[in-house]
């Protein structure tokens, strides 16, 4: 707890809150990325695209 107070004093409250939220939300963001990739594959298959084209879409 003392370490968090020290960080807030050195870097400011907004930066500490932003860092905390980023650390807490990172797993959620990764799960959302996986879901989006899965949905991209499903939609691409329904559209009749080949696996090579789907891989190119997913990998960017």
Instruction: Give the domain extent around 33.
Output: 2-59
pLDDT greater at residue 41 or residue 11: 41
The mean pLDDT value for 2-23 works out to 83
Q: What is the pLDDT of residues 24-41, one digit of tens each?
A: 999 999 999 999 988 888
- Position 25 scores a pLDDT of 93
Convert the chain into a string of H (helix), E (strand) and C (coil): CHHHHHHHHHHCHHHHHHHHHHHHHHHHHHHHHHHHHHHHHHHHHHCCCCHHHHHHHHHC
Count of domains forming the chain: 1
pTM, two decimal places: 0.58
For all residues of the chain together, what is the average pLDDT? 84
- Position 60 scores a pLDDT of 67
């Amino acid at each position: 707890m003392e370490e968090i107070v020290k960080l807030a004093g050195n870097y400011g409250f907004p930066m500490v809150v932003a860092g905390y939220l980023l650390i807490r939300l990172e797993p959620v963001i990764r799960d959302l990325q996986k879901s989006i990739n899965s949905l991209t594959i499903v939609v691409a298959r329904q559209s009749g695209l080949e696996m090579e084209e789907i891989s190119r879409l997913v990998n960017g």
